[in-house]
Structure 1
């Protein structure tokens, strides 16, 4: 099976009341951990690359790594997606380079500017058989080149979604309902609460249309503790409650982005390995432990949060 778009994935997810995991990739071990878990659990999957990942690994390397995963696991549908494309030029480069899905994130601009840039990307992408994710509303936090200060984020306005989707022709829409980028989402003692009422209002206005949630890592505390026990100094923080994500997946959310959890798992595996084996210097040993954690995290998300297992 070749790389696919998310069109059929999202149709099935919407009708089935589950979501597809969109996992950020940066190197071979992360690609392997994600796709091995997805293949064993018979789950479709989206592998996505941010601007930072493309700078670090080079877009060509990432495409080839994902193509290798497709060859090794032809039984599962795999999408290669650009996460947070900053402008038309970035999206065009990925479309021309083999991505099957791109996100144009112009949410930090005015409503009209967002529409104009998104429509431009949509027209080019659709002419090349590629689908487009857009965004309305802005999430706080930091993820690679995406930086929104606390207090500057804004919830999606449901009354704008119909006009935006109609005028741009985008294929899915990322909305802001209380998630945030990065590992430091909410302080201990707070009670994170997604604005599922906004999601339901968007669903009413866009029946059958796939919605996307960014910044949806849950910040697993077991990995935070491992990192801190092995020389790390991570701040105390809690992530998005997984029961709320599962509720969103049963509604109109068809794609849930997960990045920070994978980074925490990879780092925890490496730090613990060196603590237990200080004489090791073979990358295959310590990166292998990191990869095992990535696989375990993805398996948990697929079965307990997304509900996408046994969907192919």
Structure 2
């Protein structure tokens, strides 16, 4: 239980053909809600701290130490992961702080430069027993663009994994970051082709824009790690907004942040259960 190497959670999910939820940390209240949701479901969770989150908190260490401490106290397995790090120094810092995994994002580079940079970070991580994820094929959405038609090529992906030695690969299959509507259409045939071409788990970024049924279908087709951020942020924000609407005179921020935290817990539990049971669900049950 408690703080668990990411590799253990990923290996177990890949072997079972199920999905492993990986949810983004924004601040301490989301850390607490994500752990509480995992405990309510009785399932493991990966807590992700992004490069943007580290910048918001003035550096990685403060939010990282709080997240690691919460993971150690959890009654279910909790892994801590660095998400979307384009800064190699930040990736190395996460390794040194005790993260179970890092995601180095060199997808903004041309292919050869991405390989070179990712292999360098992977070497540093592996020498210290840390799991590493990378990305190939740009996943859109940081600027709201859905980037249709941008898909990861299976042959190129296989070559990339062989050249870099990464443990998991985030692929572009039709999802997009920061979507507030669940309208993305995943290319299930491409997911299956990537699964057949690779011997490492596949990672779905931008899952907030994907329906439950489509996520279940993606897991069945070969996805393992399912990243969710924006969708869950909406539950927290609505909880805060509803509390403030009902209590306009409140000045103690713990009151409304606590309401946001409480609103997030059930959806965390629901998603973890959905991903863990994905291969057992019928299309009707998953919709």
Q: Tell me if TM exceeds 0.5.
A: yes
Cα distance between partner residues in 1 of 2:254 and 2:23: 22
Q: Displacement, 1:148?
A: 7.3
Aligned to 1:287: 257
* 1:171 paired residue among 152, 167, 172: 167
Q: Does 1:68 align with 2:59?
A: no
Cα distance between partner residues in 1 of 2:144 and 2:116: 22
Aligned to 1:161: 157
Q: TM-score, normalised by structure 2?
A: 0.90
Deviations 1:153-198 (Å, cap 9, x if unpaired)?
Answer: 7210112111111110000000010000003467xxxx64210100
Aligned to 1:212: 203
Q: Does 1:247 align with 2:217?
A: yes
Count of paired positions = 277
Unaligned runs of 5+ in 1: 218-238
With 242-251 and 29-38 compared, the bigger mean Cα shift is at 242-251
Cα distance between partner residues in 1 of 2:83 and 2:53: 10
Unaligned runs of 5+ in 2: 279-287
Deviations 1:250-297 (Å, cap 9, x if unpaired)?
Answer: 342111111001211111111111111111111121111100121122
1:177-256 equivalences under 5 Å are 177-184=173-180, 192-207=184-199, 209-217=200-208, 239-256=209-226
Alpha carbons 1:243, 1:305 under 8 Å: kept? no
Tell me, what secondary structure is at the counterpart of 2:185?
A: coil
Cα distance between partner residues in 2 of 1:185 and 1:178: 14
Cα distance between partner residues in 1 of 2:89 and 2:178: 26
Cα distance between partner residues in 2 of 1:8 and 1:151: 33
Alpha carbons 1:85, 1:105 under 8 Å: kept? yes
Aligned to 1:298: 268
Aligned to 2:284: none
Name whichever structure is richer in helix by fraction: 2
Structure 1 residues 25, 192: CA separation in 2 closer, same or farther (over 3 Å shift)? Answer: closer
Tell me, what secondary structure is at the counterpart of 1:141?
A: coil
Aligned to 2:37: 37
Cα distance between partner residues in 2 of 1:139 and 1:76: 31
Cα distance between partner residues in 1 of 2:180 and 2:43: 29
- How much is the aligned-residue C-alpha RMSD, in angstroms? 1.9
